């Protein structure tokens, strides 16, 4: 840490030479500096040297200038914060960059007040103090805005009120107005800059829109989940984070309400090593993994993270967490069972069965999960194939969160060993005290992508930690792709960018997600063009032009004078072709008996069974919120399927994730009351979903909130 004298010298040097010499300890990962990083490297010295300004004005203690000093300090702090936001932005980075350009001009103008104090004496008036105070408030608003739009968790408010573009324009208008009133010169042409700003906003908006469309099937409902978890993370950090990165606990004993009775599980049917057992959970009728927790420190950490783990249990790309079990004095984490084990196990046993399509699918699953975790302010810290599990359906799921930390928490004390050192970022390899950040996680995922492509470990012929450190840190060497493999060029470019030596030039998780999503869709489109024709399709082709399209059939059905049978025929024919929306509407017609089938034509039992099966297909294959709502209703009432209210709640929750307000009301009411078999009362979650439905102006939810004094 530089001392005050050193800071003072740096501050003086900044004004005399325009630069500060970089300390040698910080140069190993800086290959080239752009303007933002170059200026931002001076900020810590500027901040700690605010005392220099005070010294400069020490003889003026009774002068109005002393009232400006705290505000000047705020400008430096805000500038530093906005630059940091820009450097770590996962979304809207160009827009944040445009804001950085502005605040750097403001900072330069403020520095000019100090350097040319004699010339600027007339500036320090009561009138300017008022205007300068307003200017600082605008700078704070810019800082807050940049922080919100740069991460997924802060985007939500701009989807329901003022847009990002509108807020940006207002902030820049206020900023420029204050600069003009204070007579701070603007070095950017306002006309040219305005055009440039609009182009930046359009580009960022297009990327953001595409990103939100891909991570969720609705207008950003997943943002609510992210926002809730980020809030929990913040609360947990404020409630007593220790220096070690662990959380304080008043009671080291296990909380009974966090434990599942061991009697709910059958005996171990399979052991994977000494610490993992396969056990059947009777109540949910699923196989689970029992993972023994041995270290006391791990036990305390896990107990503190249970609430977060429970919140992310329904994210499909993350291994499902059921809870904790204490048995015979041992503590076990209980998770979803992955039939194929880890990705490492999977590719070692199935190397010849893993084609490029499956590789892209696995990489997409992993990046989707990591993207969600990062958006929720959680970093995994140990991304490698041993912590990626493969289910029976060959879906990849992220596991082993028990070394994970929150983004703003202290770096984890995870032990370095030959297994994880292959995936560690060079900055972390060079300095074990380096604060682990999202760029480190991106690097690890880049190495994992190489392994998914090659189906072999990185640096597999090196079995010495120091040798890997030498290769990666000092020689800056990376693995190479095998010649003539089937990996797309965009995949290779993504990997090469992810493992760049300088962390500032690595891509963001949203960038990586969108690239892999694009590759996935390209492969699917290619396959669709090459599919063999089903003989049944030939019959349909002869008749297809006589039917309405699915969208036309929906409009026909909704029309007061529409031909329901004509709509039904279209839904039926397109459902045969596999169209999920058509399956949903065919199920809808069956469930509500739209065509008034008589018992002799189609029995009620058969009609309901067909409807439930089609609703389930549309729910599971298409993640359609409406279909999930209808299938949940089938489960709740026992229409067409065996009554299962616990499973009904799960489908209601999936429907909520896909933005269905009726499902939010239904599940909120069920959880709040909890008076039915299979539905456990949970007032807190019930209130949450009722508030969500009320927030979306659902009449019944509003009435229930008022009845039970639930604030919304």
Same domain, 357 and 391: yes
Contact 493, 511 (CB under 8 A): no
Give mean pLDDT, residues 146-157: 79
What share of the chain in percent tops pLDDT 70?
74
pLDDT for the residue numbered 255: 55
Indicate whether 7 pLDDT > 50: no
d(CA 126, CA 116): 20
Same domain, 367 and 418: yes
> Residue 2: which of 20, 29, 27, 16 has the closest Cα?
20
Give mean pLDDT, residues 282-296: 83
pLDDT for the residue numbered 224: 65
Q: Can you say whether residue 393 is alpha, beta or left, with left for phi > 0 and alpha for psi between -120 and 50 degrees?
A: alpha
Phi, psi of 76 (to 5 degrees): -60, -45
Contact 57, 162 (CB under 8 A): no
- Which residues on adjacent β-strands are paired with residue 631? none
pLDDT for the residue numbered 299: 62
Indicate whether 397 pLDDT > 80: yes
d(CA 612, CA 625): 15
Same domain, 314 and 248: yes
Same domain, 574 and 631: yes
Q: 464 lies in a domain?
A: yes
Examine the fold and report which residue of 317, 336, 355 is the final residue of a domain before the chain moves on.
Answer: 336
Same domain, 457 and 576: no
Summarize pLDDT for 645-695 with one digit per residue, the tens: 889 999 999 999 888 999 999 999 999 988 677 788 889 989 999 999 998
Summarize pLDDT for 618-643 with one digit per residue, the tens: 998 767 889 999 999 999 999 999 98
pLDDT for the residue numbered 296: 61
Indicate whether 321 pLDDT > 80: yes
Helix (H) or strand (E) holding 109: helix 93-115
| Predicted TM-score (pTM) above 0.85 | no
pLDDT for the residue numbered 11: 32
pLDDT for the residue numbered 243: 37
Q: 480 lies in a domain?
A: yes
Contact 238, 254 (CB under 8 A): no
**Rounded (10°) CA dihedral 55, 57, 60, 65:** -140
286: CB partners within 8 A, 6+ apart: 280, 336, 337
d(CA 451, CA 447): 6
What share of the chain in percent tops pLDDT 90?
31
Contact 85, 144 (CB under 8 A): no
Same domain, 397 and 503: yes
Burial environment of residue 16 by CB neighbours within 10 A (0 to 12, 13 to 18, 19 or more): exposed
pLDDT for the residue numbered 384: 95
Of 77-91, 93-107, 447-461, 600-614, which one has max mean pLDDT? 447-461
Give mean pLDDT, residues 219-242: 60
Number of structural domains in the chain: 4
Indicate whether 12 pLDDT > 60: no
Find the domain containing 102 and state its range: 4-214
Q: 319 lies in a domain?
A: yes
**Stronger pLDDT, 433 or 4, i.e. the higher one:** 433
**Stronger pLDDT, 221 or 85, i.e. the higher one:** 85
Per-residue pLDDT band at 297 (split at 50, 70, 90):
low
Summarize pLDDT for 174-184 with one digit per residue, the tens: 898 888 888 88
Indicate whether 254 pLDDT > 70: no
Q: 689 lies in a domain?
A: no
Contact 347, 354 (CB under 8 A): yes
Tokens read off for 116: 């040319």
Summarize pLDDT for 488-528 with one digit per residue, the tens: 999 999 999 999 999 999 998 888 988 998 888 776 554 44
How is residue 384 annotated by DSSP?
A: S
Same domain, 26 and 110: yes
pLDDT for the residue numbered 501: 94
Per-residue pLDDT band at 301 (split at 50, 70, 90):
low
Chain mean pLDDT for the chain? 78
Indicate whether 160 pLDDT > 60: no
Indicate whether 191 pLDDT > 80: no
16: CB partners within 8 A, 6+ apart: none
Give mean pLDDT, residues 446-454: 96
d(CA 581, CA 546): 19
Number of helical H runs and strand E runs in the chain: 31, 9
Indicate whether 217 pLDDT > 80: no
Same domain, 263 and 314: yes
Examine the fold and report which residue of 168, 192, 214 is the final residue of a domain before the chain moves on.
Answer: 214
Q: 694 lies in a domain?
A: no
Alpha helices (H) in 216-355, listed in sequence order: 222-238, 296-311, 343-350
**Rounded (10°) CA dihedral 237, 238, 239, 240:** 70
Per-residue pLDDT band at 285 (split at 50, 70, 90):
confident
For residue 157, how many C-alpha atoms fall within 13 Å in the half-sphere facing its CB? Answer: 12
Per-residue pLDDT band at 707 (split at 50, 70, 90):
very high
Tokens read off for 602: 């189609």
Indicate whether 242 pLDDT > 60: no
Q: 672 lies in a domain?
A: no
Indicate whether 463 pLDDT > 80: yes
The string over 345-381, giving b where at least 16 C-beta atoms fall within 10 Å of a residue's C-beta and e elsewhere, is bbbeeeeeebeeebbbbbbbbbbbbbbbbbbbbbbbb
pLDDT for the residue numbered 616: 93
Alpha helices (H) in 424-579, listed in sequence order: 426-430, 438-454, 465-469, 489-498, 509-530, 535-543, 550-558, 564-576
Contact 115, 17 (CB under 8 A): no
Per-residue pLDDT band at 533 (split at 50, 70, 90):
very low
Q: 610: domain CATH number?
A: 1.25.40.10
Same domain, 564 and 521: no
Q: 685 lies in a domain?
A: no
Max CA distance (Å), the chain: 102
Examine the fold and report which residue of 320, 336, 352 is the final residue of a domain before the chain moves on.
Answer: 336
Tokens read off for 358: 């499956």
Indicate whether 385 pLDDT > 80: yes
pLDDT for the residue numbered 303: 63
Q: What is the C-alpha end-to-end distance of the chain, expressed in Å?
A: 48
Same domain, 625 and 483: no
Contact 501, 426 (CB under 8 A): yes
pLDDT for the residue numbered 529: 45
pLDDT for the residue numbered 246: 40
d(CA 674, CA 689): 14
Phi, psi of 395 (to 5 degrees): -95, 140
pLDDT for the residue numbered 521: 77
Tokens read off for 376: 């929720």
Contact 342, 385 (CB under 8 A): yes
pLDDT for the residue numbered 79: 92
Summarize pLDDT for 670-683 with one digit per residue, the tens: 999 886 777 888 89
**Stronger pLDDT, 37 or 300, i.e. the higher one:** 300
pLDDT for the residue numbered 19: 31
HEC readout, 184-217? CCCCCCHHHHHHHHHHHHHHHHHHHHHHHHHHCC
pLDDT for the residue numbered 4: 39
pLDDT for the residue numbered 483: 82
**Stronger pLDDT, 202 or 370, i.e. the higher one:** 370
HEC readout, 9-75? HHHHHHHHHCCCCCCHHHCCCCCCCCHHHHHHCCHHHHHHCHHHHHHHCHHHCCCHHHHCHHHHHHH
Q: 280: domain CATH number?
A: 3.30.200.20
pLDDT for the residue numbered 249: 38
Summarize pLDDT for 405-447 with one digit per residue, the tens: 555 554 545 567 888 899 999 999 999 889 999 999 999 999 9
pLDDT for the residue numbered 6: 42
d(CA 663, CA 693): 8
> Residue 646: which of 660, 658, 632, 657 has the closest Cα?
632
Q: 687 lies in a domain?
A: no
Q: What share of the chain is helix, strand, coil (3-state, %, to 5)?
A: 60, 5, 30
Contact 31, 502 (CB under 8 A): yes
d(CA 459, CA 478): 9
237: CB partners within 8 A, 6+ apart: 406, 408, 409
Same domain, 439 and 476: yes
CA distances from 304 to 236, 250, 307, 684 (A): 8, 11, 7, 19
Burial environment of residue 411 by CB neighbours within 10 A (0 to 12, 13 to 18, 19 or more): middle
> Residue 497: which of 458, 450, 537 has the closest Cα?
450
Same domain, 352 and 273: no
pLDDT for the residue numbered 402: 58
pLDDT for the residue numbered 34: 39
pLDDT for the residue numbered 606: 85
């Amino acid at each position: 840490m530089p001392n005050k004298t050193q800071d003072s010298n740096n501050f003086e040097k900044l004004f005399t030479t325009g630069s500060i010499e970089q300390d040698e300890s910080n140069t190993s990962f800086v290959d080239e500096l752009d303007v933002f990083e170059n200026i931002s490297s001076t900020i810590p010295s500027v901040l700690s040297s605010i005392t220099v300004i005070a010294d400069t004005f020490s003889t003026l203690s009774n002068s109005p200038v002393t009232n400006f000093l705290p505000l000047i300090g705020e400008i430096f702090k805000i500038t530093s914060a906005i630059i940091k936001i820009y450097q770590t932005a996962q979304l809207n980075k160009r827009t944040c960059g445009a804001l950085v350009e502005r605040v750097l001009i403001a900072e330069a103008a403020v520095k000019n007040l100090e350097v040319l104090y004699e010339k600027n004496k007339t500036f320090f008036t009561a009138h300017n103090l008022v205007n300068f105070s307003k200017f600082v408030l605008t700078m704070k608003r810019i800082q807050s805005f940049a922080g919100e739009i740069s991460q997924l968790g802060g985007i939500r408010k701009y989807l329901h009120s003022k847009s990002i573009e509108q807020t940006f324009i207002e902030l820049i208008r206020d900023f420029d107005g204050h600069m003009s009133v204070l007579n701070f010169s603007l070095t950017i042409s306002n006309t040219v800059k305005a055009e440039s700003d609009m182009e930046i906003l359009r580009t960022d908006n297009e990327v953001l829109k595409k990103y939100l469309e891909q991570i969720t099937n609705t207008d950003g409902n997943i943002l609510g989940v992210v926002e809730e978890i980020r809030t929990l993370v913040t609360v947990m950090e404020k409630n007593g984070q220790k220096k070690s990165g662990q959380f304080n606990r008043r009671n080291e004993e296990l909380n009974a309400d966090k434990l599942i009775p061991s009697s709910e599980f059958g005996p171990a049917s399979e052991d994977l090593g000494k610490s993992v057992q396969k056990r059947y959970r009777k109540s949910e009728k699923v196989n689970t993994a029992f993972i023994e927790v041995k270290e006391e420190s791990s036990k305390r950490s896990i107990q503190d993270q249970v609430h977060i783990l429970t919140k992310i249990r329904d994210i499909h790309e993350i291994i499902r967490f059921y809870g904790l079990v204490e048995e015979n004095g041992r503590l076990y984490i209980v998770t979803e069972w992955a039939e194929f084990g880890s990705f490492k196990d999977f590719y070692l046993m199935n190397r010849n069965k893993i084609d490029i399509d499956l590789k892209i699918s696995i990489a997409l699953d992993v990046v989707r999960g990591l993207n969600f975790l990062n958006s929720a302010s959680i970093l995994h810290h140990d991304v490698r194939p041993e912590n990626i599990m493969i289910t029976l359906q060959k879906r990849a799921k992220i596991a082993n969160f028990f070394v994970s930390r929150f983004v703003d928490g202290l770096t984890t004390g995870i032990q370095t060993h030959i297994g994880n050192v292959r995936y560690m970022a060079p900055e972390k390899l060079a300095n074990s005290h380096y604060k682990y950040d999202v760029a480190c996680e991106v690097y690890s995922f880049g190495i994992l992508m190489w392994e998914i492509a090659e189906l072999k470990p990185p640096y597999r012929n090196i079995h010495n930690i120091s040798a890997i450190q030498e290769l990666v840190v000092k020689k800056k060497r990376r693995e190479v792709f095998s010649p003539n493999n089937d990996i797309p060029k965009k995949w290779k470019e993504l990997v090469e960018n992810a493992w760049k030596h300088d962390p500032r030039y690595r891509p963001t998780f949203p960038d990586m997600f969108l690239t892999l999503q694009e590759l996935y869709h390209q492969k699917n489109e290619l396959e669709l063009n090459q599919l063999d024709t089903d003989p049944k399709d030939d019959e349909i082709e002869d008749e297809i032009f006589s039917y309405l399209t699915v969208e036309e059939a929906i409009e026909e059905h909704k029309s007061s004078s529409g031909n329901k049978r004509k709509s039904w025929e279209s839904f039926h024919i397109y459902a045969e072709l596999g169209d999920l929306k058509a399956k949903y509407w065919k199920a809808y017609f069956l469930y509500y008996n739209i065509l008034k089938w008589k018992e002799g034509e189609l029995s009620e039992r058969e009609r309901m069974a067909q409807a439930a099966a089609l609703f389930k297909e549309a729910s599971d294959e298409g993640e359609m919120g409406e279909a999930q709502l209808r299938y949940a209703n089938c489960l709740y009432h026992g229409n067409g399927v065996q009554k299962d209210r616990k499973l009904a709640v799960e489908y209601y929750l999936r429907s909520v994730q896909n933005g269905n307000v009726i499902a939010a009301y239904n599940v909120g009411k069920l959880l709040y009351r909890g008076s039915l078999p299979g539905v456990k009362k949970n007032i807190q979650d019930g209130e949450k979903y009722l508030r969500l439905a009320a927030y979306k102006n659902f009449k019944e939810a509003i009435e229930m909130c008022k009845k039970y004094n639930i604030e919304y």
